[in-house]
A = this chain, B = another copy of it.
Amino acid sequence: MAKTAARQPVPARRADAERNIAAILEAGTRLLGADPAASVADVAKAAGVGRVTLYGHFPSREALVDAVLDHAVGLADAALQDESLDTAPAREAMAGLLRTSWEVLDRHRRLFVAADRVLATERIREHHDRPLRRVRRLIERGQREGAFRTDLPLPWLVTTFFSIIHSAAQEREAGRLAATDVERVLVETMLSLLSRAETTAPS
């Protein structure tokens, strides 16, 4: 590293590094999305960089998967930008948010499976902080408008959104849920859960 530094001016090195990182994240998203078992060597090859270069930026497969997940969630969050989230009736907006979220997650389903194999659930959830803020904002609005229940803690309702949609990804991957049934199942489940139960729990 010290020798290279002496030969190449700093800005050019930084630009190279940024280009390499972008290529690695793009290739990682693509390859892990196709095969959750894709290796670091496969990703380096597809990105057109050497393994040493890749390990220079991402010191382990876990670190690579972590960075690729973060990259993919950033793309997903962009897809969730939709002003109807703030204007449509809350239940309709929730159904729309579930459908769009599922569409994006389903596209990256295998990448999520790859992440689930090497990262703790809490870490995966941290990466979803931005999209989950949208979920939280919508649930809060629905509560203010009387469409959603207020007897359960708000963070818990946000968690159930995360948990249910990721369960659907697991169920799809395991072949226990039909592709054609996912959207209906997600919308029915989440809206039932957000509605005040008619009968309270037996004591």
Binding site for B on A (CB under 8 A): 89, 91-92, 95, 113, 116-117, 120-122, 125, 149, 151-153, 155-156, 159-160, 163-164, 167, 170-171, 173-174, 176-177, 181, 184-185, 187-189, 191-193, 195-202
Majority SS of interface residues in chain A?
helix
Closest B residue to A181 by CB, please name it. Answer: B153
Partner of A195, one of B153, B173, B198: B198
Separation of A120 and B170 alpha carbons in the complex (Å): 10
Counting every copy of the chain, the complex holds: 2
* Interchain CB contact under 8 A, A159 and B167: yes
How far does the Cβ of A22 sit from chain B's closest Cβ, in whole Å?
29
Chain B residues lying within 8 Å of A174, measured Cβ to Cβ, are 122
How far does the Cβ of A178 sit from chain B's closest Cβ, in whole Å?
8
* Inter-chain pairs besides A125-B170, A156-B171, A192-B195, 10 sampled, C-beta below 8 Å: A91-B199, A113-B120, A116-B120, A116-B122, A121-B121, A155-B176, A188-B201, A189-B193, A192-B192, A193-B193
